Homo-oligomer: A and B are copies of this chain.
Amino acid sequence: MASRVVTPALLLLLFSIFITFSPALCLKQHPLDPLTPSEFIHIKAIIHKAFPAQNLTFQYVGLDEPEKYTVLSWQSKSTTNTKSPPPPRGALVVTRLNKQTHEIIVDLSTRSIVSSKVHNGANGLPVLTLDEQTYANELPFKHEPFIKSIRKRGLDISQVVCSGFSVGWFGEAKSRRTLKINCFYTNETVNLYVRPVEGIAFVVDLDEMEIIKYTDRFIVPVPKGEGTEYQASKQKPPFGPWLRGAPVVQSQEEGFSLEGHTIRWANWVFHLGFDVRTGTIISLASIYDLEKHKYRRVLYRGFVSELFVPYMNPTEDWYFKTFFDCGEFGFGQSTVSLEPLTDCPVNAKFMDAYYAGQDGTPVKISNAFCIFERHAGNILWRHTEVTIPNKVITEVRPEVTLVVRMVAVVGNYDYIIDWVFKPSGSIKLEVGLTGVLETEGVKYTKTDEIEEEVYGTLVADNTIAVNHDHFLTYHLDLDVDGEANSFVKNKMVTKRVKDPKIPRKSYWTVESETAKTELDAKLHLGLKPSDLVVVNPNKRTKPGNPIGYRLIPGSVAGPLLLEDDYPQIRGAFTKYNLWVTPYNKSEKWAGGQYVDQSRGDDTLATWSLRNREIENKDIVLWYTIGFHHAPCQEDFPMMPTLSGGFELRPTNFFESSPVLKVRTVSPKHVPLPNCTTKN
C-alpha cells in the first residue's frame, strides 16, 4: 500500500495549487466530481481542528452530493450559461474515535463542520481501512503462540503472510469491532490463497488493535506450492497456448473527449465519478437525439451498490466468510492500477482516482480507470436484400462501443467492472470474475479418500476450492427523458384464437402492468416472460408509445441461504433480482450505510417494506447479477475470467433507430510491412 501514498512534496504542490486556484478554474468543477487531493487535505485539517485527537481514524471520506434537483438545475443553467457557478462542495466523513463512529458533514466552501453525530455501533460499523487491515495482519508476527504453531508445522515464519476477514454477524447481542485473521504460506509461490495454514485463527480488536483470541486447533498439510505460481517469470516450459497480440498503433487519436470527469463520445455524454466505497459512478448519462436536436436524459446515476459473497463452508473456521465487498472492504478502495496494453488495449486513456487514507491523507490510485473504444468486429446493424429482382443490396454498419473499466481486487478475487456504451442507445453492464479462489487445506489428495463432507471441489492435492456466490447489486437511478418515471412489466400472455375461421389456436400478446408501489415491482426473474421497462408516463412518441428503457437481464441466480440465516438477513437485498424504490438520497447502499457486523435493519429489503408509491415518481432500479460458483480445476491456480452482465436498451425512447444514419469516419490505413519510421 505504501507505494500509493501521496508524498509530502506532492501534497505541498497540491495545496499550493488549491490556494492559487483562480475562480475561473473553480467554475469548471462539476458538482459530482469526486473529492480532489486538495479537498481531502482541507477535510483532514477541518476534522483535526474539530476533533484534536491522536487516535482518530478516517473510515470513509466521500463527496456529500448536492441534492439531485440542485445538480439538475446547475446542469441546465450551465449549458446555457457557462459561468454558472457549481453548488457548494461538501463531504461526508465517517471517523472512528474512542470506539465510536462519527458521521460528519463538512462544508468545503465555508471550511466548516455542518453536522456531526455519533452512530450507534450496534447496528453496523464503517468500512474497514486498508491501513488497519495491514496493521492487524502484522499482529500475529509478535504473538509468541502463533510463532510456535508455525514452528510446530515445520513452516518458515518468514514465508507466512496473514490476511484479515470481516467477521459478519451471527446473532450476537453485542460485539466489539473485530477482524478475523487467517494465515497463508508463500514459500515457492506468491499465490498465498491456495496455501492456507489451517487450524490457526485470530480475532483482532480493531479499536484496540490487539489480538483478543488465538486458537490453534488442528493441523492439516499446507497444500503444496508447486503448480500454483502465476507470475510469467516463474513459469517453466512447455508454454502455451500462443496468442498474437493486437497490432499496436501508436499515436492513435481517441474518438472521445475527456473534459474533467465528463466524457463525450459518439452520441453519449456522461460523468465518470469515483467513490472509495464503490469505485465507478456513472452520472448524468444523456444521449443525443438527432431528430430532436438535443441530448435526452437516460441515467442520473449508476454504480455497484453492494457485492455480497457468502462462502458455503459452515465449519468453525469458515462459517463467518460472508463478505460484503462494498460496505466492508470498500470496492473503490480495492480498485487497482490498470496495466496499459494488458488490462486495457493500446487505444485506452487512463484516469487516476484518489481517496483518503486512514489518517485523512489523499492516496492516489494511478490508472484507476481506463476508457477505450472497442472494435470487437461486431455488427451494429446489417441487411442484405435479395428479393428485389436483379438487385442485391447489402448495407452493413460495424459496431464501435465505448468501455469504461475499473478492476477491484478484494483479496483473492479480481472483479472487472465494465460500463459499455453503444451508439444504439444501449448501456451494457458487464462483470468479469477472475483472480484466485479461496481454498481450504484438507488431508485429502483424491476424491475417493473423502470421508467427511467437504464444501467445494478438490482442485489439487490437499486443496478444496470452496463453493460460494457472488451477488453484485447495481443502483440504477434511471431518469428516462426526465425524473418522473414508472416501472412497467410488459407481460407476454398466451391467448386463445377465438375466430372459428382461423385454424390456428393460440398466440401471445403483451399486457402491460404498471407497478404502483414497491411491492408490485420486486420480482424473481425468469419465471414469467416479460419485458421490464422504465417508462416516462408523461411523454409519448409520435405514434403514442410510452418512452422507455428496457432492462435485458443476463443469466440469473438468486440466494440459496435460508431466509432467517444471519448472512441472508444482512444480504436480504438479494432476495429479488429486481427492486424498484422511489429516489431517496439516503438510500444508496443496498446493504445499509454501515455494513460491517450489520444486522440487516438498514437494507433495501427493509426500506421497501414501507411499500412506497413508485408510479410516475423519480425511481431507482436495483438489479442483482448473481453467480453460484462451484469451482472446477480450471479455476486453479488462477481463474479464467467468467463473465456476466445485463443491458439497458432504449424501447420507444427514440422515434426510430438512432443508428440508421450512423457514419464511420474512415479509419487510418496503416501499411505494413512497407512502413518505415522516421527515427
Interface size, chain A (Cβ < 8 Å): 197
Residues of B with C-beta under 8 A to A10: none
Residues of B with C-beta under 8 A to A411: 387
A671's partner among B379, B390, B658, B677 (CB-CB below 8 A) is B677
**Are B675 and A677 in contact (CB-based, < 8 A)?**
yes
**Are B250 and A671 in contact (CB-based, < 8 A)?**
yes
- CB within 8 Å for A171 and B432 given contacts A245-B664, A396-B342: no
Is residue A248 within 8 Å, beta carbon to beta carbon, of the partner chain?
Answer: yes
Residues of B with C-beta under 8 A to A247: 249, 252, 667-670
Is residue A38 within 8 Å, beta carbon to beta carbon, of the partner chain?
Answer: no
**Are A663 and B239 in contact (CB-based, < 8 A)?**
yes
Q: Which residue of B lies closest to A133 (CB)?
A: B387
Could you tell me the distance in whole angstroms from the C-beta of A388 to the nearest C-beta in chain B? 5
Could you tell me the distance in whole angstroms from the C-beta of A411 to the nearest C-beta in chain B? 7
Q: A472 to B445, alpha carbons, bound, how many Å? A: 43
Q: A234 to B435, alpha carbons, bound, how many Å? A: 50
Q: A250 to B668, alpha carbons, bound, how many Å? A: 10
Residues of B with C-beta under 8 A to A171: 503
**Are B670 and A504 in contact (CB-based, < 8 A)?**
no
Residues of B with C-beta under 8 A to A400: 243-246
Residues of B with C-beta under 8 A to A568: 506
**Are B248 and A432 in contact (CB-based, < 8 A)?**
no
Could you tell me the distance in whole angstroms from the C-beta of A636 to the nearest C-beta in chain B? 5
Residues of B with C-beta under 8 A to A190: 385, 388, 391, 393
**Are A634 and B663 in contact (CB-based, < 8 A)?**
no
**Are A376 and B373 in contact (CB-based, < 8 A)?**
no
**Are A632 and B661 in contact (CB-based, < 8 A)?**
no
**Are B656 and A314 in contact (CB-based, < 8 A)?**
no
Q: A674 to B3, alpha carbons, bound, how many Å? A: 36
Q: A171 to B494, alpha carbons, bound, how many Å? A: 20
**Are B562 and A494 in contact (CB-based, < 8 A)?**
yes
**Are A467 and B510 in contact (CB-based, < 8 A)?**
yes
Residues of B with C-beta under 8 A to A374: 376-377
Could you tell me the distance in whole angstroms from the C-beta of A205 to the nearest C-beta in chain B? 19
**Are B381 and A639 in contact (CB-based, < 8 A)?**
yes
Q: Which residue of B lies closest to A346 (CB)?
A: B667
A650's partner among B634, B651, B664 (CB-CB below 8 A) is B634
Q: A446 to B503, alpha carbons, bound, how many Å? A: 31
- CB within 8 Å for A403 and B377 given contacts A396-B342, A669-B248: yes
Is residue A196 within 8 Å, beta carbon to beta carbon, of the partner chain?
Answer: no
**Are A670 and B667 in contact (CB-based, < 8 A)?**
no
Residues of B with C-beta under 8 A to A24: none
Mark interface residues in A242-268 (1 if CB within 8 Å of B CB, else 0). Answer: 111111111111010000000000110
**Are A672 and B637 in contact (CB-based, < 8 A)?**
no
Could you tell me the distance in whole angstroms from the C-beta of A138 to the nearest C-beta in chain B? 8
Q: A637 to B381, alpha carbons, bound, how many Å? A: 11
Is residue A116 within 8 Å, beta carbon to beta carbon, of the partner chain?
Answer: no
Most B Cβ at <10 Å: residue of A312, A392, A504: A504
**Are A381 and B445 in contact (CB-based, < 8 A)?**
no
- CB within 8 Å for A657 and B630 given contacts A249-B249, A497-B314: no
Mark interface residues in A119-161 (1 if CB within 8 Å of B CB, else 0). Answer: 0000000000000000001100000000000000000000001
Is residue A564 within 8 Å, beta carbon to beta carbon, of the partner chain?
Answer: yes
A424's partner among B376, B540, B634, B655 (CB-CB below 8 A) is B634
Beyond known contacts A337-B384, A425-B634, A634-B649: 17 more, CB 8 A cutoff: A170-B503, A231-B393, A244-B373, A244-B400, A247-B249, A247-B667, A314-B507, A342-B382, A343-B379, A380-B641, A446-B543, A447-B545, A467-B508, A505-B564, A531-B630, A637-B657, A676-B678
